[in-house]
Amino acid sequence: MAPLLIVEADKQSGGLTDRSAPIADRVDLHALYNAHWRYLVRFAALLVDDVTSAEDVVQDAFVALHRRADSLREPDAALAYLRTSVVNLSRSVIRRRQVARKHLKVAEPEATPAADYDVLLRDEHRAALVAVRALPRHQREVLILRYWSGLSEREIAQSLGISPGSVKSAASRGMATLQRVLGSEFA
């Protein structure tokens, strides 16, 4: 039975000194957190429409990164990992919310999309956000990433776990729907 590599290291060093060096030695999580917290919470808030959940999502994404910081040495790779985590965790938030809605009696707090920034938004912006919220998930995510995140098409595909071709087609379907909805409302 071949011992695990990690166990070998343990035997040799009498502990895991090599591998248990502070995580900051690989990717400086605190620096990454301070630099990207605001961007990521904004991104999550666009996806889940509720700041409290968005903040939770970002905390959880960093916790997940913290657990596997060993394998991520490049800040860029770490940031890509965080973006993907935010997307996936946001999807879970929305799924949980839909389940909660089906069982109204056990609805969790914040189960409605808060979307309560209305007093802060202009008319056409509010209408656009309402219309985007009503789109199918992929289309919604693609439009948010394309018109807000500043990422390339390839990075968008990577963040969402879909092909660049799917990004393009989801974007054009989404835009066509928005054209119809918003065009008629403001005609």
Partner 1 sequence: MTEDDLERTLRGAFDAHAHASVSDQASPPPPRFATMPDVSANSRSRLVRWAAPLTAAAAVVAVVGAAAAISRSTASHDADQNRVLSQSNQSNQSTPSASADPTAVHVKLHNDDNANYGVGMPVIAYFSKRILNGKSLQQATTATVNGKPIEGAWYFETSKAGNGPIEAHFRPAEYWPGHAAVHVSIPVKGLSAGGGLTYDNNLTTDFHTGAANIAKVDNLTHKMVVTTDGKPYGSFPVSLGIRFTPTRPGIKVIMEKSNDITLHASSSPQLHVQYAQRLTYGGEYLSAAEWNVANIKKGVNTSGGGTNLLPADAKKLFNLLQIGDPVEYVNTGGTPMQLASGYGDWNVPWKVWLTGGLVPTH
Residue appearing with tokens 């993907």: 84
Binding piece for partner 1, criterion CB under 8 A, among 6-14, 71-79, 84-92, 161-169: 6-14
Contacts 24+ apart (CB under 8 A), 184-187: 185/127, 186/124, 186/127
> Footprint of partner 1 on residues 113-132 (CB under 8 A)?
113-126, 128-130, 132
Residue entry with tokens 């591998």 = 19
Contact at 8 Å (CB) between 156 and 167? Answer: yes
């919310």: which residue's tokens? 97
CA atoms within 13 A on the CB side of 163: 3
Structural Rg of the chain based on CA atoms:
20
Kindly indicate which of the ranges 74-82, 86-94, 97-105, 151-159 contains the residues binding partner 1, using the contact rule CB under 8 A: 97-105
108: part of which helix (H) or strand (E)?
Answer: none
Binding to partner 1 in span 25-44, by CB under 8 A: 29-30, 33-34, 37-38, 41-43
Among 94, 107, 151, 162, binds partner 1 (CB under 8 A): 107
Please say which residue, 65 or 160, places its beta carbon nearer to partner 1. 65
Whole-number minimum distance, CB 94 to partner 1, in Å?
14
Exactly one of 12, 92, 98, 179 binds partner 1 (CB under 8 A); that residue is 179
Distance CA 170, CA 139 (A): 5
Shortest distance, position 131 Cβ to partner 1, whole Å = 9
Using CB under 8 A as the binding rule, the residues of this chain from 44 to 73 that contact partner 1 are 45-46, 50-52, 54-56, 59-60, 62-63, 65-67, 70
